[in-house]
A and B are shown apart, each in its own frame.
Chain A
Amino acid sequence: MPSRGKQAILAVAFVCLLAAPPFFNAALPDLASYSVGLLTEMLIFGLLAMSLDILLGYTGMPSFGHAGFFGVAAYAVAVLSVRHQAGFWLTITVGLAVGILLSAALGLLVSHVRDVYFLMITLALGMVLWGVSYRWIPMTGGDNGISGLPRLETHLGIPWSGPLPFYYLTLIVFLGCCALLTLLVHSPFGLTLQGIRESESRMKSLGVNTWLHRYLSYVISGTFASVAGILWAYYNRYVSPTYLDLTASSELFLMVTLGGPGTLAGPAIGAGAIVLLKNVISTYTERWLLILGAVYIVTILWAPQGLWNLGTRRRSKP
């Protein structure tokens, strides 16, 4: 459990998330829809970063192809809703199912692989998924991607539309996933995952089926990434291979590391910070990559445990 101070920070953050859009409407009417959109993006990537942290921070499996699940779910939504005019519930069910099945299938290939090799095999899987999205042109539209996704509000058939309802919907999903993930990491299962991160051989000698735990951790992580991918497809209303590539996966890594691996709040904060930085800086300068590169190096040099863990105990291993 986080300390008192951190609980207070989380409570304040929750109130801010709830109250921000009306505040933007009142204070910055010109920028309101932009700001609400930015907040929505922060929530979606926050969810994605948290899902990666289940693997990276809690189980100690550095997956370098995590953007793949996010992208595949987003593509499933795009293909169904644009090409086949499928209804809302069918679309999201299939989107989620594709994500789960994919992670269940790939998990079989990777769950017994460790350390640097795990990094490499997930990198390769990420590249395969990216390659498929880039080259399987009849299905994915190749480099052009798929555009013209329906608005979530109209697709779902609710009477409200615009950035505000979408934001609150995303917030509900985000908080729901947060609750589930919190339950998960504090459950005996979640604690076992952390035990595996610290010492797999000891967990094994305690009689834990570590392979199964690693496998389930991989599937759960892929599932939550798919939820984020579905939200992203509806938010952006356009999918393209950019969201699956090496840079996307490593940006996720940065979000988790910057925020604080092994916590849930940390990656969400890291994701928020990176999304905000990206959007704000790219309006002022074209040197975004230079700044992002510097953020990587500075984070590793001076805050390797992440912002959320600053001031608390230092762990020896990331």
Chain B
Amino acid sequence: MVYFITQTLNGLFSAALLFLIAGGLTLVFGVMRIVNIAHGSFYMLGVYVAFSVVTRTHSLLLGSLAAMLVVGGIGFAMQRFFLRRFAGQPLPEMMMTMGFALLFRDGALIIWGGDPFTLAYPDFLRGSLEIADVVCPVYRLFVIVVAAAVGAILAILNEKTLIGAKLRAAVDDPEMAAGTGVPVALLSGLVFAVGAALAAFGGVMAGPILGGYTGMDFELLPLAFVVVIIGGMGSLKGAVVGSVVVGMIDNFGKALVPELSYFTLFAPMVLMLAIKPTGLYGRN
């Protein structure tokens, strides 16, 4: 039982990180139909930028702000100058993001070197809670709470504000939305930037535990895709459900059947795509 609860908490921690990363991806995917291979790179760049800031200022908060600003800016520029001209052509867009993913990986290697590291984090988040034999590190709980807060903010933005309404219109039918005066191109740029910033934030939140290392970009990217596919493209609710499902499967799969861990992870995605390509909550 204790083992089960511990694994569930670990699964929720993975789910929280996955949500931060896949939340952005699903919006980008939903609005622009871009298979963004560089999304894992945003996550990686986030933790590297934060590393530079945290080692100088010893503040995780400043680190996350800097990471979100820098990576969001990179994402905006990438969308504005390279992706926008290929709008509606999935293949060139995907190849373009693949090219950027390689540039970012090598760029990070040049700037920060290849040594793995973990981020320093504030003392009040250290230690662990112990409730009836179940030991849970405070930092993991903190990340779960933060991710839930981010989810709530995104949901309110999406459901209750004008920009959210325009965004939903653009996801549903970009052409009609553009026809009624919604600035779809600008919105796409913003969504891409916000998605990138969220991925970077996810990287920073994971930083104290998972850290930064070469190859982390492509390690996480497929997981984020699984979340988006299971939940449905463009749906925040789907991203929440998908993150929890994938976080749990990933954790229990690795713990129970390590030989098949990738199989247990990607098989549901293949089945979902073969049966219902739009995912649990996706719109046609």
The reply on A109 being an interface residue by CB < 8 A is: yes
Instruction: List which A261-311 residues lie within 8 A (CB) of chain B.
Output: 287, 289-290, 292-297, 299-301, 304
Q: Mark A149-169, 1 if CB is under 8 A from B, else 0.
A: 000000000000000000000
Q: Mark B7-24, 1 if CB is under 8 A from A, else 0.
A: 000000000000000000
The reply on A318 being an interface residue by CB < 8 A is: yes
The reply on A177 being an interface residue by CB < 8 A is: no
Q: Mark B88-121, 1 if CB is under 8 A from A, else 0.
A: 0111101110111111011101100000000000
The reply on B273 being an interface residue by CB < 8 A is: yes
Q: Which residues of A contact B261 (CB under 8 A)?
A: 131, 135
* Identity of the chain B residue whose Cβ is nearest the Cβ of A134 in the assembled complex: B262
The reply on B157 being an interface residue by CB < 8 A is: no
Q: How large is the interface on A (under 10, 10 to 19, 20 to 34, 35 or more residues)?
A: 35 or more
A109 touches B103 (CB 8 A): no
The reply on A246 being an interface residue by CB < 8 A is: yes
Q: Which residues of A contact B110 (CB under 8 A)?
A: 287, 290
Residues A125 and B270 in contact in the complex (CB < 8 Å), given A135-B259, A289-B102:
yes
* Closest-CB distance, B244 to chain A (whole angstroms): 19
* Closest-CB distance, B6 to chain A (whole angstroms): 23
* Closest-CB distance, B91 to chain A (whole angstroms): 5
Instruction: List which B140-162 residues lie within 8 A (CB) of chain A.
Output: none
When chains A and B are docked, how far (Å) is the Cα of A132 from the Cα of B82? 36
When chains A and B are docked, how far (Å) is the Cα of A127 from the Cα of B33? 21
B218 touches A247 (CB 8 A): yes
A124 touches B229 (CB 8 A): yes
B106 touches A296 (CB 8 A): no
Q: Which residues of B contact A293 (CB under 8 A)?
A: 98-103, 106
When chains A and B are docked, how far (Å) is the Cα of A109 from the Cα of B267? 11
When chains A and B are docked, how far (Å) is the Cα of A57 from the Cα of B270? 23
B95 touches A300 (CB 8 A): yes
Partner of A135, one of B90, B101, B262: B262
B225 touches A123 (CB 8 A): yes
B106 touches A318 (CB 8 A): no
Q: Which residues of A contact B137 (CB under 8 A)?
A: none
The reply on B2 being an interface residue by CB < 8 A is: no
* Closest-CB distance, A15 to chain B (whole angstroms): 33
Partner of B270, one of A121, A245, A257: A121
When chains A and B are docked, how far (Å) is the Cα of A131 from the Cα of B98? 21
Partner of A130, one of B96, B262, B270: B262
Residues A121 and B100 in contact in the complex (CB < 8 Å), given A115-B90, A135-B259, A289-B106:
no
A290 touches B263 (CB 8 A): no
A109 touches B274 (CB 8 A): yes
When chains A and B are docked, how far (Å) is the Cα of A125 from the Cα of B229? 13
The reply on B246 being an interface residue by CB < 8 A is: no
Q: Which residues of A contact B266 (CB under 8 A)?
A: 124-125, 127-128, 131
Please classify the interface of chain B as helix (H, G, I), strand (E, B), loop, or mixed, using the class held by over half of its residues.
helix
B262 touches A131 (CB 8 A): yes
Q: Which residues of B contact A134 (CB under 8 A)?
A: 262
Report which residue of B86, B95, B107, B261 has the largest number of chain A beta carbons within 10 angstroms of its beta carbon. B95
When chains A and B are docked, how far (Å) is the Cα of A318 from the Cα of B102? 23
Q: Which residues of A contact B258 (CB under 8 A)?
A: 135
Residues A120 and B229 in contact in the complex (CB < 8 Å), given A113-B274, A297-B82:
yes
Instruction: List which A106-157 residues lie within 8 A (CB) of chain B.
Output: 109-110, 112-113, 115-117, 119-121, 123-125, 127-128, 130-132, 134-137
* Closest-CB distance, A244 to chain B (whole angstroms): 11
When chains A and B are docked, how far (Å) is the Cα of A128 from the Cα of B181? 43
Q: Which residues of B contact A247 (CB under 8 A)?
A: 218
The reply on A62 being an interface residue by CB < 8 A is: yes
A296 touches B95 (CB 8 A): yes
Partner of B262, one of A123, A128, A254, A294: A128
A128 touches B267 (CB 8 A): yes
When chains A and B are docked, how far (Å) is the Cα of A115 from the Cα of B89? 10
The reply on A253 being an interface residue by CB < 8 A is: yes
The reply on A25 being an interface residue by CB < 8 A is: no
When chains A and B are docked, how far (Å) is the Cα of A109 from the Cα of B261? 21
The reply on B260 being an interface residue by CB < 8 A is: yes
Q: Which residues of B contact A130 (CB under 8 A)?
A: 262
- Given A124-B222, A124-B273, A296-B95, 12 new contacts (CB under 8 A): A113-B273, A115-B90, A123-B225, A131-B265, A245-B218, A246-B222, A254-B95, A254-B98, A293-B100, A296-B99, A297-B99, A300-B95
Could you show 17 A-B contacts with beta carbons less than 8 Å apart? Answer: A109-B270, A117-B277, A121-B270, A123-B35, A123-B225, A124-B229, A127-B222, A127-B266, A128-B263, A128-B267, A136-B259, A245-B218, A250-B95, A254-B95, A294-B103, A299-B95, A318-B89
B→A interface (CB under 8 Å): 33, 35, 37, 82, 86, 89-92, 94-96, 98-103, 105-107, 109-110, 218, 221-222, 225-226, 229, 258-263, 265-267, 269-270, 273-274, 277
